[in-house]
Amino acid sequence: MVLSIIKRSEKIFDALEAGVESHAGHRAVGALLVTSFIGSLVVIELNRQGMLPTPLAQVVPDSHLVAIQIAFNLLLCVEVVSLIMMLSHSISSSVGKQFELLSLILLRDVFKELAHLIEPITWDKVGPAMPAMAASAIGSLVIFVVIAFFYRAQCRLSITHDHLEQNTFIAGKKCIALGLLAAFIGIVGRSLMAFYNGVHLPSPFVSLYSLLIFTDVLLVLLSLRYSSSYHVAFRNSGFAVSTVMIRVALIAPPLVGAGLGAATALFTLAVTLAYNHFAAIMAKPCDLS
C-alpha cells in the first residue's frame, strides 16, 4: 500500500516537473508574468479614474508601483515551485534556491516600500524609507555574490553507493516535495481569500519558510536512514539551521533582516567548504608508516 502511494506520487511529481521545466512551461510562465504586470497597471489606472465598481475599487490599490510588487510576487511563486522541484535532485541545490528566493524577496521589498508611498513620489516621501530600501538592495546583492561561490563549491557525493537505496531516497524526497507543493498552494489560496475579505495574514513566503524548516529536518532524518556519516549529518543539519535563520530574517526589521540574510548566506557557504574539506580528509587512506 505504502509502496503504491510512493510510486504514484513519484509519477505525479515527474509529470509536474517535466511540464514546469519544459520550454513550453517557461514560455507560459513568461507570458503570465507579462500579462499580470500589464493587466495590473490597467486595472490600477481604471481605479484611479474611478471607473471600477465600488466593491472592486475598495480592493484594488491606487499606486502604479503596486503592479511591480504583484509581478514580483508571481515571480517568487514561480521560484518557489522551482525550489520545491529541486528537492528531489539535491539538498544543497535546494538550499541554494532558498537563498535565490530570499534575494528576490529583498529586491521585492524595495518596490514594496515605494508602493506604500502616494504618487507623485517626492524625496520628502522617499527619504524616510531609503535606509530600509538600501539595506534590502545591498543585502540581496551580497546574497547573490555568495550564492555564486556556494554553487561553485558544491561537491556531488552520493549519500549511498547502493543504487536501489539511492532511488528509494530520491522517491522519498519527491513525495515530501509533492506534499510541500500542495501545502504552498493551500497557503497562497488562503492568503488570497484573506486579502479579498480585508484580513491581514503573514506573507505566504514567511509561512513557506516555516514549512521548509520542518521539511529540512525531515530530510536530515530521512538521509540518516541511508547514511549515518557525521559530515553528511552535520552539513544537512547546518542547512536546516540556515533555513531557520532565513525565516527569522523575513520577520526582522529591514535593516536587521538584510544583514541577517547576508550573514546566513556566508554561514551556509562556510558549512559547504567545511563539509568538502572533511569529506576529502575522510576519503584519504590513513598512513601509519
- Domain extents for the chain? 2-283
- 10 Å Cβ neighbour count for 165? 15
| Long-range Cβ contacts of 196-200 (<8 Å, 24+ apart) | 196/59
Q: Give the pTM.
A: 0.83
Dist. CA 171–CA 90, nearest whole Å:
12
Q: Is 253 helix (H, G, I), strand (E, B) or coil?
A: coil
Q: How much is the pLDDT for 286?
A: 45
Dihedral (C-alpha) 28, 204, 96, 113: value to the nearest 10 degrees? 90
Residue with cell 557557504: 269
Helix spans in the chain (H): 2-21, 23-48, 54-57, 65-86, 91-115, 123-126, 130-152, 163-196, 204-224, 230-251, 254-283
pLDDT in tens, 205-225: 888 999 999 998 888 888 887
∠ at Cα 229 (158, 85), nearest 5°?
40
- 179 neighbors 219 (Cβ within 8 angstroms): no
Pick out the chain residues at pLDDT < 70. Answer: 1-2, 115-121, 156-162, 282-289
Dist. CA 90–CA 46, nearest whole Å:
46
Nearest to 80 by CA among 41, 133, 29: 29
